[in-house]
Amino acid sequence: MRYYSTRSRSNPVSFAGAALTGLAPDGGLFIPGEIPSYPEKVKNSLGTMDYFDVAVETIRPYVHPELPGSVLEDLVHSAYSFAAPLVPVGDRLVLELFHGPTAAFKDFGARFMARAFSYLRRGEDKPLRILVATSGDTGGAVADGFYGVEGIFVTVLYPKGRVTPLQEKQIAALGGNIEALAVEGSFDDCQALVKAAFGNEGLRKRLDLSSANSINVARLIPQAIYYSAAAGKAFAGKTDPDGEATPRVSGAYGTSKSTVACGVKAGSPITFCVPSGNFGNLTAGLYALKMGAPIRGFIAATNSNKTVPDYLESGEYHARVSQATISNAMDVGAPSNFERMAAHWTLEQLRSMIRGVHVSDDDTRKTISAVHGDCGYFLDPHGAVGWRAVDILSAGNVPVTGPLAVLATAHPAKFAETVEPLIGSIPVPASIKTALSRNPQSRTIPAELSALADTL
């Protein structure tokens, strides 16, 4: 597989080149030269394959030949000791992506990336410096995934005062090869600093730089796995039992005061509602669809940072300054992965696959309360944005048909400050209990490249 910049089809690179470089030299994002298709045998077996096998078959064509078959299998086994259960909640499904070590969907990409980088950098003497901007969950997942990896140092930039106390503990309390910088500004400022560092010739000469945001294709590709696995399962008429971290009131499995538990009819492609900020997660879903997973389409659910829903409606793209909300991991006014989406597909093609909806903080809070009351299920603010987006569409002229899954991108215990005043105590998984015992240590810097350069 060859990779190109979103801004030029010249100078293609290998998977290793795209992953270890992070950002293309012209400032664009790397994209695969083509989105491969699953072999028919795999496509027809997605509903019966286990997660490990779906992962290998999904990643393989993107990383060949740099990651040989046996190496890829070892990496996948090491990265994924957890799964992504597709569970019924009320009249719909929830794809739970918080069963990993930092209780957020970013674990799926970050853990594979760390292991891939370690293999691809074997034998190198000069250390690799990874820069990552985070609005919350990415930083914790990258810190955990790369912690202790020899020859790699990670600098995480996060907006000071705009992440939860738990997120800060996950980002800034590990030490070792993980450094945390609290930036005086927004997530967009953090992201701009990372891009500026990559564009600075002096820094790039002195340091081997790479990224671990979803601007890095090595983190994006593994996220396609859980879409394909869940779509195959639903197409086969199957769901999963609750996992250890499933935040459901005891005895409330699949029940609702206002609706009956959803039934999944075999043979129908699924719609995914994706809480969206930087749009890497949704881009990975589009890759899964194009590979041949049985997916009907997507709902892009945003908070008040509705740059992409507005684009889908008007046809004009206008990046904005991000606004702070209670679903803070989605507080992105200039989503990086929009550039990938626009490089792969036209406006009309995107409209045929995605419907955009934005949700207010007030509606997010009401949804957390309503789903808990009706279904006995705890949603975090991001999942609540997704749930409410489905409600909005269902009340409109073009309702959602067939099976539908809302992505639960983080465990609600990560947002206890918002959720518990609404619905009471949340069951806390073991991974979060461990993180809560840590003490964060970070440095504060202004949102200026010179300050970041001095630190590096």
Could you report the per-residue pLDDT of 17-57, keeping only the tens digit for each? 999 988 898 989 999 999 999 999 999 999 999 999 999 99
Which residue out of 41, 43, 106, 233 is catalytically annotated? 106
Q: In the annotation, is 106 catalytic? A: yes
Closest by CA to 232, choosing from 402, 42, 59, 408, is 42
Residue stretches of the chain with pLDDT short of 50: 255-261
- Report if residue 237 sits inside a domain: yes
The count of structural domains within the chain is 1
- Report if residue 95 sits inside a domain: yes
Give the DSSP letter of residue 389: H
- Report if residue 198 sits inside a domain: no
CATH number of the domain that 243 lies in? 3.40.50.1100
Which neighbouring-strand residues pair with 298? 272, 354
Q: Which residues contact 262 (CB under 8 A, 6 or more apart)?
A: 88, 89, 90, 91, 92, 93, 254, 403
- Report if residue 205 sits inside a domain: no
For residue 116, give the amino acid letter.
A
- Report if residue 344 sits inside a domain: yes
- Report if residue 36 sits inside a domain: no
Q: Which residues contact 336 (CB under 8 A, 6 or more apart)?
A: 29, 191, 213, 214, 215, 278, 279, 280
Would you state the pLDDT for residue 263? 64
- Report if residue 447 sits inside a domain: no
- Report if residue 385 sits inside a domain: yes
Question: 């619905």: which residue's tokens?
Answer: 423
What is the extent of the structural domain holding 363? 83-103+220-434
Asked if residue 19 lies in contact with residue 120, where contact means CB atoms within 8 angstroms, the answer is yes
